[in-house]
Amino acid sequence: MGKLHAKVIVNPVAGANSTYRKWPHISRLLREAGLSFDYHYTEGVGHAIELARGATQSGYPFVVAVGGDGTVSEVANGILTAVSPASAALGIVNTGTGNDFVRSLGKPMDYSLSCRSLTGSGRLVIDVGEVEYWKGNQPLRRFFVNGAGVGFDAEVTENVHKLPKLGGGTIPYVMGLVRTLLGYHNKPVTMGIDGKQDERRILSVVVANGAYFGGGMHIAPGAELGDRSLDVLTIGDMGKFELLRAFPRVYKGTHITHPKVRLERAGVVRIESEQRLLLQADGELIGEGPVTFRVVPAALQIVV
């Protein structure tokens, strides 16, 4: 394989603002691994999408995300929305707090190992999800690589982003969950699963491409990134104390046997409600329902 030249997109505030401090070491590791690259810092939400789209359209065959799940998701969106005859491959140097997509890929958490793997020949082609949603009065669409959700899950995400940075892993998610429990009410929704429609009262619906979310929760233990389907996990009309009792099971993936949890696989999922229905995608709050999710098979190439 010839020497690679990459665009590296660095989110300096990822990992509770630690990536800026780590970047000199990471850049040295990348050069020692034989990677030729240009780099650019992101300056705010959505900037990585613009940078990755521009890099792909400029002909970079390889775009590397240095950051967490949100950075990876934005870089993937930039690659996937580029107007280009050939898409770039996505590389990941993990420096985030949640790290769920890296878990779903089965990649090491140690960013030094990720740096060394970027110049290898390993490639994995994965499906992505696409969601159509609303923000204000405007219909929008977005790709997600790991998972998305509506209801309680999205409101937890909203509250997590209001909290001070509390370190990595699942701690921020649990804090956000406790805060959300205080005022959340389950919602009546109309759900369409591959065209079959029914009425449900839900705590939350998670539409998963990968197996993990929330900083290590094994939310969809059977999900595979290349199986041409999305795993749809509906948590039904569960009370708050019932949720707290069942919550520890999600780390082992045994929650799927709970009588109020329903797991389905689908290519297209439509969810609407007369009540406000927040939407998160790859851990970022992006808009509201009604929402339509669909799988896009074999859409993205990952350097592994």
296/170 Cα distance (integer angstroms): 29
Q: What is the pLDDT of residues 63-115, one digit of tens each?
A: 999 999 999 999 999 999 999 767 899 999 999 988 899 999 988 888 999 99
Q: Which of 227, 231, 229, 226 is nearest to 304 (CA)?
A: 226
pLDDT at 1: 41
Residue 283's pLDDT band (cuts 50, 70, 90): confident
Q: What is the DSSP letter of 257?
A: G
In a shared domain, residues 173 and 232: yes
179 and 51 together in one domain: no
Alpha helices in the chain (DSSP H): 14-17, 19-32, 47-57, 69-80, 100-105, 111-117, 152-160, 171-181, 240-246
Q: What is the CATH number of the domain that holds 27?
A: 3.40.50.10330
Does 15 reside within a domain?
Answer: yes
Is it the case that residue 178 has pLDDT exceeding 70? yes
pLDDT of residue 265: 97
* pLDDT tens digits, 129-175: 999 999 989 999 999 999 999 998 888 878 776 766 655 556 777 77
% of the chain surpassing 70 pLDDT: 95
Position 288 pLDDT exceeds 90:
yes
303 is a domain residue: no
Report the predicted TM-score, pTM, of the whole model to 2 decimal places: 0.91
Is the residue at 193 inside a domain?
yes
Is 14 found in the same domain as 61?
yes
| Residue 216, domain member (yes or no) | yes
Domain that holds residue 163: 129-297
Is residue 287 located within the same domain as residue 186? Answer: yes
Count structural domains, the chain.
Answer: 2
Q: Assess whether 207 and 275 both reside in one domain.
A: yes
- Looking at the structure, do residues 51 and 167 belong to the same domain, yes or no? no
Domain-terminating residue out of 68, 89, 121? 121
How much is the average pLDDT of 260-275?
97
Whether 114 and 27 share a structural domain: yes
Among 20-24, 80-84, 230-234, 271-275, which stretch is predicted with the lowest mean pLDDT? 80-84
The answer, yes or no, to whether residue 271 has pLDDT greater than 80, is yes
Helix 47-57 to helix 69-80 angle (10° resolution) is 40
For 33-55, what is each residue's pLDDT tens digit? Answer: 999 999 999 999 999 999 999 99
Query: What is the per-residue pLDDT for 165?
Result: 60
Residue 304 lies in a domain: no
Confidence of residue 215 (pLDDT cuts 50, 70, 90): confident
- Whether residue 52 sits in one domain with residue 16: yes
Show which of 78, 93, 121 is a domain's final residue.
121
Q: In sequence order, what DSSP letters do the residues of 21-44 get, joined into one string? A: HHHHHHHHHHHHTT-EEEEEE--S
pLDDT score at 107: 85
What is the pLDDT at residue 163? 65
